[in-house]
Structure 1
């Protein structure tokens, strides 16, 4: 369930900044057709920071309805207050999601004990499988491998999304958590190496526009057909980089519009459109990946 290419789905919006349901349905169909393993709805790439609670839950609900059991949906339910994360988790329990992606508390900068207690209490308040999400570059705190190992002993904490880009952690964390606990890359640039070192897949930004390619790479690595996988990934290498030329999800929403997956790349403030100087860079990457 938590392996392969999982897309960190963008949340499409119309020119007024309202959620674009037509484009959302189109995106879900695109990922079903492309072999994506699962969808993360309303994670960082889905602009969770600028959706209110009602919209947050509604986007997840709509995504599950459009999926109609044909692809698994994982709900982004992270918050920097434990009580808020529990509230979001409780609200998605009956929507049909297969699990939750819960980011480390941002801004607060809790200790390792604080992080342990945060995730432990969330897990104790739900039966849904939980994916820990560590992205220090955004949150200001770092979930250490030793803390992950403690959390992995809790039955419904089943996976880690690691967006540190620190490949040395893959082996260290795997040794601590064992083989059943899933390790997912959260960094497209290094995900290929992450999987070669024992990772189980990726929660991907690039998969928003290169869904078929990302799914195939993961399948080939799992089948030990590394040369074939590398050949595909080499065509995506520039894309992996240029989709982060400005803060995510600015470039990837522009790219989704450019290749016709969404109607426009509207975002809510404080996120602003892709700058003119970056447009040729992202366009070049799309062309190299044969997506344009």
Structure 2
């Protein structure tokens, strides 16, 4: 594979939901409208087909169609990162190759879930996939969903592979993040995978966030990042505190149920969620509505 030339994904990336129609099929017209809305409201990159995009319930064909559609609509305005990871190394390689063919700017590889590999197994899984693509790779460390944590040592080892350039860190382990930032090259980027710890991670040297709350507060998240980067830490902290209840509200129910509900409330029609996720009850919607309005 040719050596990757990586110039970065941006600071505020949105883990994009997947819009569905009334029959719970992927709705590409709604997807186009959502993409334009996100790009007009602070998003500097889009992650497609990830957890927030309900990847466990998307078929391979649906994922590839989403990659192609998003790349076409975005038209090189921001990076498009395709969620091509799974708990099958070979299946991940196949989907990664399809993502590369679709024109995606990078791929995101989640830690293999359910089969619970050891750390050396994690290393070989990610290295095998990275070796089959020229695209830049973002690792995704989320033990709360995958049941395995990628250790700092393994992330640091993986960062020495040319096209493994980034990690979405959602373990909640600030010590791990600090260790990775300290012992990887300056051009290896670390992103918060949880909105609520973005500012603490920035203070450790992280580069930005792969955000969910940016669906409804993108400009606020962008302002927080820019304030911190410009040295106005007090302003960044003030915005963080203001957004914190909304950040928590986006995960009061299994994600992406709250954020899809919030988008629909705000006039951005993204449809419902697929089973086994369930729509919010009327009382839950009322709580969310009051939270967003405040």
Q: Same fold (TM over 0.5)?
A: yes
Contact 1:41-1:59 at 8 Å conserved across structures: yes
Separation (CA, whole Å) in 1 of partners of 2:23 and 2:144: 30
Asked if 1:3 is matched to 2:41, the reply is no
Asked if 1:172 is matched to 2:175, the reply is no
Mapping of residues 1-292 of structure 1, within 5 Å: 1-264=8-271, 266-288=272-294
Tell me, which stretches of 5 or more residues in structure 2 are unaligned? 1-7
* Superposition deviation, residue 263 in structure 1: 4.8
Separation (CA, whole Å) in 1 of partners of 2:184 and 2:78: 27
Tell me, which stretches of 5 or more residues in structure 1 are unaligned? none
* Superposition deviation, residue 118 in structure 1: 0.2
What is the SS of the residue equivalent to 1:58? helix
Q: CA RMSD in A?
A: 1.2
What is the SS of the residue equivalent to 1:34? coil
Deviations 1:163-213 (A, max 9, x none): 012222222111121322100000111111111221100101111111111
What is the SS of the residue equivalent to 2:13? strand
What is the SS of the residue equivalent to 1:278? helix
Contact 1:102-1:133 at 8 Å conserved across structures: yes
Contact 2:15-2:53 at 8 Å conserved across structures: yes
Contact 1:183-1:199 at 8 Å conserved across structures: yes
Separation (CA, whole Å) in 1 of partners of 2:179 and 2:283: 40
What is the SS of the residue equivalent to 1:35? coil
Separation (CA, whole Å) in 1 of partners of 2:176 and 2:185: 14
* Superposition deviation, residue 275 in structure 1: 2.8
Separation (CA, whole Å) in 1 of partners of 2:261 and 2:162: 40
What is the SS of the residue equivalent to 1:210? helix
* Superposition deviation, residue 112 in structure 1: 0.1
